[in-house]
Structure 1
Amino acid sequence: MNVALRFDPVRLPDYCQALRQEVRAFIAEQVDKGVYDPNASEHDIESMKAFAKAVSAKGWIGMAWPKEYGGQERSFLERYVVSEEMLVHRAPTRKYFVADRQSGPTLIRYASENIKRQVLPKIIAGEAMFCIGMSEPNSGSDLFAANAKATKVDGGWRLNGAKIWTSGAQHADYMIGLFRTSQPTKENRRHGLTSFLVDMHAEGVTVNPIQQITGIAEFNECVFDNVFLPDDYVIGEIDGAWKQATSELAYERSGPERFLETFGAMRAFLAAVEGTDDPRVQEGLGRLIAQLHTMRRMSVSVAGMLEAGREPVTEAAIVKDLGTVWDKALPRELRELVSLMDYDKYDVAAYRERMNYFTRMSTKLTIQGGTTEILRGIVARGLGLR
């Protein structure tokens, strides 16, 4: 079977490079003001709030959205540049990042006009934090097996069940969650799932943080006990959310965050070995940078497809698979290179302190946003192999 799988060669235009310099200057200003520390392992919620307000004032939240809803109608490539610089400089973007990347575009496309007018301005102002409710206990990334239910009642719906591995839920104001509204059919296993906007402050919502090996609780279990949602909190078609979910994941899986989460380890290594003439270290770094450049080109290509109105679900899955596998392996690759260094000549001890954090943190990367196994199934289906 011939399948159209394309990564068009997209070059960032000059106006994107000018924007890059503006973003770098902004980040340097925020660091100088003490808004955040780029070398901190994790940022507190107050830093996230302050940074979100500053980014909002620059017009960089929802920058690719329609002006009708407060956006700037700038390109996905410009948004890509902003995201890339924020990631490289470890900016505390979590307050708004998920909403800007995928939740806002989902609401623009599928939500009622009332919800758009109510929620989108909060996102653009840097005031609304979103999380994504897909995975569940006992089913993980197999979304077809979702059992958390939404039951129709007078004036709305009642939610019962649980979601797990929900990043940032303990601070989130809203969730876009996938709930079962009817049973799947033999002909269509995808049938019966509906997306809802969930107010995370509503009565009956309980968030249980899950502590990771880093000592940080980034993931959470979210339990819903008879949570009431009004009718207009339904996002899109009842029983037909599967296509919406896969479209949303094209935004989530293809960005630079999929290969830059441990980039801080490489920056620390480069600082530690500055001036080295060891050919083994130079070869190793050259290989890693070439791999990084390749993944970046693929990610920019997907941003170009989104800009053109396409839904590159298979290409996004490839970027996420390759990117997170590489990102997870990067600390190990750098540990092998540092073993070649002269400890008396280079400040390897300071580097090792940073490396300890990135090594522990990297264990989560091939799980979040869809496991590697699930992604490869999506790629196989996209290539007509299953």
Structure 2
Amino acid sequence: MTAALRFDPIRLPPECETLRKEVRAFLAEEVARGTFDPHSPQGQDSDVPGFSKRVGERGWIGMTWPKKYGGHERSFLERYVVTEEMRVANAPTRRFFVADRQSGPVLLKYAPEHIKMDILPRICRGEVCFSIGMSEPNSGSDLFAAKTKATKTDGGFLINGTKIWTSSAQVANYMLAIFRTSPSTKENRRHGLTQFLVDMKIPGIKVNPIGQLTGKAEFNEVVFTDAFVPDDHALGEIDGAWKQATSELAYERSGPERFLETYYVLTELVRALGNEPDTRGAEGVGRLVAQLHTMRRMSVSVAGMLHAGKEPVVEASIVKDIGTIWEQQLPQRVRDLAAFVEPDASNHEILDTVLPYAMKVAPKLTIQGGTTEVLRGIIARGLGLR
């Protein structure tokens, strides 16, 4: 059956603009105290526990969650504004972002009460970092080809196998991972996968950093050797995690972080071109800003649908596909448009500093959160084309 594809025409309400001013003032204070440099895109991948705790104190982690678990019962649209401002400012959100965006909502739905009462308030306080264990060697973003096994034993499961491209595993307290608990079937290759909450400090887990062109190691290989996970850390339906995973990915793939990761080069291009850009520069910036505005409208729409309790999996996949290709290509487009700017112009210095970093970051963008090929398969299936 073909899914109805739609992007509801959502507009941010007035309270979001009030919140935006509060977030900007907070970030300005953090910059003034030396927490991070907004002109340094490397900062957004840093683990800064103090900053995370101060964000938690402001009530900006777990914003949409029940107050019972430390949340604030605010809207997805308000959360959208906080995410947008944090990303544009290159704020160091690594410690709390994945937990806030997708891991917490999964725990809210599927974790036992005692786990929710323990972990969710700590996430809201900015104390806990999560990673996501989905991709594996030789299967990439094809989730249903996962081979890492969770074998039933007394009181829990023994995990053996490898996850790869696992962002933040080197600093994570927990991982939400998909493991194989039964073989798939001819009728349903999605069968046999179960989602688990994994304490990253248990014996039998080794994290191997994967170096990137930037000199950082944001991604990791995570090897499990008889790592024991207790029964109450199995989340949701045994052998039926694919249903949960597709819902989770609607949270992961639709936010402004999916098209703003290299946004800083666009702002510096505008600064470098100055108040009176030539026709080529003005036309180029106009196209980029129009594309950015379109993606932002789509992303806000998905946030509104999430707030309404919908699961816009296909729409989120479209945002991620279009957004990451755009942000991946943006550094080269900016480089072309800046080619004729006078090299001694004073407003060109920051662009010259951040553009090489963006060029090096770009290759990873269509890997994280699902490869373009897998996303297009999801979109095609949702539209009844396969």
Is TM more than 0.5 here?
A: yes
Is 1:305 aligned with 2:327? no
* 8 Å CA contact 2:43, 2:92 repeated in 1: yes
State the one-letter code of the partner of 1:34: G
TM-score by length of 2: 0.97
Which residue in the other structure is 2:57 paired with? 57
Deviations 1:133-169 (A, max 9, x none): 0000111111111000001111111111010000011
* 8 Å CA contact 1:35, 1:47 repeated in 2: no
Deviations 1:306-333 (A, max 9, x none): 0000000000000000000000000011
Which residue in the other structure is 2:111 paired with? 111
State the one-letter code of the partner of 1:150: A
Alpha-carbon separation, structure 2, partners of 1:344 and 1:220: 40
* 8 Å CA contact 1:205, 1:224 repeated in 2: yes
Deviations 1:329-385 (A, max 9, x none): 000110110113233445435422210000100110011100000000000000000
Distance 1:136 1:343, change over 3 A: same
Describe how 1:311-326 pairs up with structure 2 within 5 A: 311-326=311-326
Distance 1:71 1:32, change over 3 A: same
CA deviation after TM superposition for structure 1 residue 16, in Å = 0.4
Q: Could you tell me the percent identity over the aligned residues?
A: 63
* 8 Å CA contact 1:36, 1:47 repeated in 2: no
State the one-letter code of the partner of 1:79: R
Is 1:254 aligned with 2:236? no
Distance 1:163 1:46, change over 3 A: closer
CA deviation after TM superposition for structure 1 residue 3, in Å = 4.0
CA deviation after TM superposition for structure 1 residue 2, in Å = 5.7
Alpha-carbon separation, structure 2, partners of 1:231 and 1:81: 38
Which residue in the other structure is 1:127 paired with? 127
Unmatched 5+ residue regions in structure 2?
A: none
Is 1:354 aligned with 2:354? yes
Unmatched 5+ residue regions in structure 1?
A: none
Which residue in the other structure is 1:294 paired with? 294
Which residue in the other structure is 1:175 paired with? 175
Which residue in the other structure is 2:13 paired with? 13
Secondary structure of the corresponding residue to residue 229 of structure 1: strand
TM-score by length of 1: 0.97
Q: CA RMSD in A?
A: 1.4
Secondary structure of the corresponding residue to residue 198 of structure 1: strand
Secondary structure of the corresponding residue to residue 10 of structure 1: coil
Which residue in the other structure is 2:166 paired with? 166
Which residue in the other structure is 2:84 paired with? 84
Secondary structure of the corresponding residue to residue 42 of structure 1: helix
Which residue in the other structure is 1:224 paired with? 224
Deviations 1:61-104 (A, max 9, x none): 00100112111000000000000000000000010000000000
Alpha-carbon separation, structure 2, partners of 1:143 and 1:367: 13
State the one-letter code of the partner of 1:221: E
Describe how 1:140-151 pairs up with structure 2 within 5 A: 140-151=140-151
* 8 Å CA contact 1:262, 1:358 repeated in 2: yes
Alpha-carbon separation, structure 2, partners of 1:65 and 1:329: 35
Which residue in the other structure is 2:69 paired with? 69
Deviations 1:22-67 (A, max 9, x none): 1000000011011122223423998621110110010010010011
Which residue in the other structure is 1:208 paired with? 208
Alpha-carbon separation, structure 1, partners of 2:229 and 2:343: 60
Alpha-carbon separation, structure 1, partners of 2:292 and 2:342: 26
Which residue in the other structure is 1:240 paired with? 240
* 8 Å CA contact 2:157, 2:229 repeated in 1: yes
Q: Which moved more, 1:100-109 or 1:44-53?
A: 44-53
Alpha-carbon separation, structure 1, partners of 2:321 and 2:266: 20
Alpha-carbon separation, structure 2, partners of 1:2 and 1:123: 37
Alpha-carbon separation, structure 2, partners of 1:238 and 1:114: 19
Distance 1:107 1:2, change over 3 A: closer
Distance 1:287 1:346, change over 3 A: farther
* 8 Å CA contact 1:169, 1:220 repeated in 2: yes
Alpha-carbon separation, structure 1, partners of 2:279 and 2:258: 29
State the one-letter code of the partner of 1:147: K
* 8 Å CA contact 1:63, 1:79 repeated in 2: yes
